[in-house]
Structure 1
């Protein structure tokens, strides 16, 4: 799976892909085949990073049960 999107905010192309777990340590250099099958493709050299353009804090420890309940619309 590959996903690409042009970021107007960062003025860059952002690509996300799935990797074999053997290559997922941060900083590992990998080659990603960029482009759809049947079209022109290119190998892109990159490094594994958590958030290459947006290093925000993760919220995986947030207890969603403690969030206030939404009020019904009237």
Structure 2
């Protein structure tokens, strides 16, 4: 979980297109990130046949879609 959290925060902090976010939007993204990770981990624990790289790909898709929807960008 820690790896995925750090990965998500790096995306927010490093991409210039996310610099336009206000404090409330960043807070919402952090909450979204937390819920996404928790939900995905619960799913993975009950579906342990899912490979780690598949879990990572799923998280990346969920996270990027959430950010892009918040800022109105296209994926």
Return the TM-score normalized by structure 1: 0.23
Higher relative contact order (CA 8 A, sep 6+): 2
Flag the structure with larger Rg: 1
Which has more helix, going by share of residues?
A: 2
